[in-house]
Amino acid sequence: SQQGEEDPQALSIQEGENATMNCSYKTSINNLQWYRQNSGRGLVHLILIRSNEREKHSGRLRVTLDTSKKSSSLLITASRAADTASYFCATDADDYKLSFGAGTTVTVRA
């Protein structure tokens, strides 16, 4: 069964606004990763946060991890049209396999 679940399922924002999506998971993890998928393409890795980290930044991306609540959030600041995509969280329970959530579809309106 899927480990991660994203919320919301879909998000529509204006260019320049921030987008926040959340991921909840069920079991202990080694790390949590976020991926982006543009329409019709394969997934692209965005950022990885380890279980002993609470926050991580990469450019306009900010990821938080709360292992006590088994949840993570991805914030995209100052969104652009090119950020329109689906975003997936994936949990790594240290067994060389990732478990993906169903994803959040983000639409950035010009």
Partner 1 sequence: DAGITQSPRHKVTETGTPVTLRCHQTENHRYMYWYRQDPGHGLRLIHYSYGVKDTDKGEVSDGYSVSRSKTEDFLLTLESATSSQTSVYFCAIRAQGGGETQYFGPGTRLLVL
Give dist(CA 10, CA 94) in Å, integer.
29
Q: How far is the CB of 36 from partner 1 (least distance, A)?
A: 11
For partner 1, the closer of residues 4 and 70 by Cβ is 4
Residues in contact with partner 1 by CB under 8 A are 1-2, 30-31, 33, 40-45, 48, 88, 90, 92, 96-103
Q: How far is the CB of 109 from partner 1 (least distance, A)?
A: 23
* Rg (alpha carbons) of the chain, rounded to whole number: 13
Q: How far is the CB of 100 from partner 1 (least distance, A)?
A: 4
For partner 1, the closer of residues 43 and 108 by Cβ is 43
100, 11, 24, 65 alpha-carbon torsion, rounded to 10°: 100
Give dist(CA 103, CA 108) in Å, integer.
16
Are 48 and 33 in contact, with CB atoms under 8 Å apart? yes
Give dist(CA 48, CA 91) in Å, integer.
10
For partner 1, the closer of residues 14 and 96 by Cβ is 96
For partner 1, the closer of residues 44 and 81 by Cβ is 44
